[in-house]
Amino acid sequence: KPRPKRAGSASPAGGEESEAPAPAAPVSERERVFEENPELLIEYGETLLHVLMQVYSYAVNPSVRQMSLSCLAKLLHFSSASHVSQLLCNVPFSAFIAALLSSQEPAAASSALQMAEMLLVKLPQIFEDKFLCEGVFHAVDDIRALAASSEAQAKSAAAVTASASTSASASASAPAAAPDDSLKRPSSSSRRSTDSDSAPPA
């Protein structure tokens, strides 16, 4: 009677048993719509790209500004490389990203980093030079240096706090010094002097 073959052993033909392919990631409803109707995404981008950039530049409400950046990031994410190249052909988008990175808004800088990464992945031959000319890489270096400086300051402050806490604990646990008896009991010479002063004259 043949022995049963163990899992993972070689097949009779001498080859290794192939593993089951990993299940594909589920496609969202939005992605399915854009895949089935690419002209819809092209029309959306050509119509709203400039509007979204102007909304961010002129809006005062922070939530509105962040929503416009989110829409821009989604537009770049779902668009193909050829569509992105056509869409940003005559748009100063590299300067726009550099301005976002140099702003004092962490959310805007985060969105700018995401969009810059997408552009470098889809069109590196175009945006590497543009980012270099517009100062995007320099702005990223500034953010990294600022983050490193903040981290160093936080570590230094934590070390100072820990040292102060250790010193306070050591002082609290140290035994109290015994009182000096010389401060409590007068010396014999002082007692004699006191007795002589208090004695009545002869």
The three-state DSSP-derived secondary structure of the chain is CCCCCCCCCCCCCCCCCCCCCCCCCCCCHHHHHHHHCHHHHHHHHHHHHHHHHHHHHHCCCHHHHHHHHHHHHHHHHHCCHHHHHHHCCCCCHHHHHHHHHHCCCHHHHHHHHHHHHHHHHHCHHHHHHHHHHHCHHHHHHHHHHHHHHHHHHHHHHHHHHHHHHHHHHHHHHCCCCCCCHHHHCCCHHHHHHHHHHHCCCC
pLDDT digits (tens, 9 = 90+) for 17-59: 456 556 656 777 877 887 888 888 889 999 999 999 999 999 9
What pLDDT, on a 0 to 100 scale, did the predictor assign at position 131?
A: 96
What pLDDT, on a 0 to 100 scale, did the predictor assign at position 8?
A: 47
Q: Where are the domains of the chain?
A: 30-149
Tell me: pLDDT of 197 over 60: no
What pLDDT, on a 0 to 100 scale, did the predictor assign at position 30?
A: 76
pLDDT digits (tens, 9 = 90+) for 76-115: 999 999 999 999 999 999 999 999 999 889 999 999 999 9
